[in-house]
């Protein structure tokens, strides 16, 4: 009875050649597949035919979007970069955020959120004090405290306050303005301008012209300092029957005020009677 001969192993160089050949064939197959997909993604059949815009578009017409965003779009439905497309729409004036989705087979859905202006913004150089002039140029701050660029002539609200402070402080300043504005309402006035120095000193200007130095400190402390001032100011204005021109709340024992024709110093509510200066 004959037994089958044992299989003879291939020499190492032959096994190596077979392995290299298999890898080359696999590489060629993947390259051909990639080339096919690449060509498929760029077929005219997948060109974007329609862009559906939703959300807040009060400040941007179809013509504005076409002029500012569509010219920067590239690629087909399959090859278009959603990140770059989103950025193209977010670069349009007044657009804060854009969400972009593909809708099969050749449409895009774009949902826009527009900036809502809350204040004008003036950036100060590092180290500038609260009363120093801001650098040239004015931008806008939205309701989230973010600075954005837009045509100031498109702002309908002419009574927007001005925030002037160091770079990166706009969100903090808008929050501070809202708190100080709430206290100023008890005076029947509004905060027209709020300044913050590089050293953290606050200064506000009321809409009737009074300028008030608030000084430094934690925001809650500064807000409370101003609230106490507002609570006692009516005692002075009603007594002397003259409007406030300026006040300095940086004194440890009270505050100094300048009324039209009168200059006084008054302590805080727990410090005792009014003193003339």
Weakest mean pLDDT among 27-36, 168-177, 250-259: 27-36
CA distance 262 to 260: 6
Please check the confidence at residue 48 and state whether its pLDDT lies above 60. Answer: yes
CA 118, 119, 125: angle at the middle one, nearest 5? Answer: 140
Same domain, residue pair 163 and 245 = yes
Taking all residues of the chain, what is their mean pLDDT, rounded to a whole number?
83
Mean pLDDT across the stretch 153-170?
93
Pair 52, 72 in one domain: yes
Q: CA 31 to CA 194: how far, in whole Å?
A: 62
The pLDDT tens digits for 166-223 are 999 999 999 999 999 999 999 999 999 999 999 999 999 999 999 999 999 999 999 9
Determine the Cα–Cα distance for residues 154 and 188; give it in Å rounded to an integer.
Answer: 28
Does residue 263 share a domain with residue 198?
yes
CATH number at residue 168: 3.40.50.11690
- Return the structure tokens found at 50: 């329609």
Task: Specify the number of domains making up the chain.
Answer: 2
Domain range for 172: 117-276
Residues 258 and 133 in one domain: yes
Q: Cα–Cα distance between 58 and 116 in angstroms, integer?
A: 11
Helix (H, G, I), strand (E, B) or coil at 195: strand
On whether both 154 and 74 belong to a single domain, the answer is: no
Q: What is the pLDDT of residue 272?
A: 39
Looking at the fold, whether 162 and 251 belong to one and the same domain comes out as yes
Same domain, 99 and 227: no
User: Do 250 and 271 belong together in one domain?
Assistant: yes
| Domain finish residue from 85, 114, 143 | 114
100 with 126, same domain? no
Looking at residue 225, its pLDDT comes to 96
Shared-domain flag, residues 151 and 247:
yes
Q: Judge if 178 and 229 occupy the same domain.
A: yes
Verify that 184 and 95 share a domain, yes or no: no
Residue among 158, 161, 156, 159 at smallest CA distance from 176:
161
User: Of 96, 114, 132, which residue constitutes the final position of a domain?
Assistant: 114
Would you say 50 and 110 are in contact if contact means Cβ atoms under 8 Å apart? no
Residue 43 has pLDDT above 80, yes or no: no
CATH of the domain at 100: 3.10.20.310
Domain boundary among 63, 98, 114: 114
Which has the higher per-residue pLDDT, 67 or 96?
96
Q: Report the percentage of the chain scoring pLDDT > 90.
A: 49
Alpha helices in the chain (DSSP H): 12-41, 62-68, 82-90, 170-184, 219-240
Question: Quick one: pLDDT at residue 77?
Answer: 80
Dist. CA 68–CA 46, nearest whole Å: 23
In whole angstroms, what is the distance from residue 49 CA to residue 109 CA?
12
pLDDT band with cut points at 50, 70 and 90 for residue 18: confident
Query: Is there a contact between 122 and 164 (Cβ–Cβ < 8 Å)?
Result: yes
Residue 224 forms part of a structural domain: yes
Cα separations (Å) of 190 from 47, 226, 254? 54, 13, 23
Q: Specify the pLDDT at position 46.
A: 64
User: Does residue 27 have a pLDDT over 80?
Assistant: no
Residue 273 reports pLDDT greater than 70: no
Nearest to 155 by CA among 122, 193, 117: 117
Name the 3-class secondary structure at 262: strand
């Amino acid at each position: 009875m004959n037994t089958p001969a044992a299989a003879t192993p291939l020499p190492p160089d032959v096994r190596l050649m077979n392995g290299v050949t298999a890898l080359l064939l696999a590489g060629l197959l993947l390259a051909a597949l990639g080339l096919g997909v690449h060509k498929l993604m760029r077929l005219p059949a997948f060109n974007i035919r329609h862009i559906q815009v939703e959300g807040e578009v009060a400040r941007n017409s179809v013509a504005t979007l076409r002029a500012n965003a569509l010219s920067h779009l590239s690629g087909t439905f399959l090859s278009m970069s959603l990140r770059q497309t989103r950025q193209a729409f977010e670069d349009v004036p007044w657009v804060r955020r854009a969400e972009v989705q593909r809708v099969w087979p050749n449409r895009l859905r774009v949902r826009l959120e527009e900036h809502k202006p809350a204040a004008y913004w003036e950036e100060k150089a590092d180290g500038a004090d609260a009363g120093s002039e801001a650098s040239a140029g004015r931008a806008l701050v939205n309701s989230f405290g973010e600075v954005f660029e837009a045509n100031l002539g498109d702002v309908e609200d002419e009574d927007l306050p001005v925030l002037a402070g160091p770079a990166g402080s706009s969100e903090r300043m808008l929050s501070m303005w809202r708190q100080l504005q709430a206290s100023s309402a008890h005076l029947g006035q509004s905060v027209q301008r709020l300044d913050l120095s590089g050293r953290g000193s606050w200064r506000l200007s009321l809409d009737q012209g009074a300028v008030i130095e608030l000084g430094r400190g934690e925001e809650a402390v500064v807000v409370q300092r101003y609230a106490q001032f507002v609570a006692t100011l009516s005692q002075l204005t009603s007594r002397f029957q003259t409007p406030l021109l300026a006040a300095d709340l940086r004194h440890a024992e009270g505050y100094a005020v300048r009324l039209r024709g009168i200059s006084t110093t008054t302590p805080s509510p727990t410090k005792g009677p009014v003193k003339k200066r």
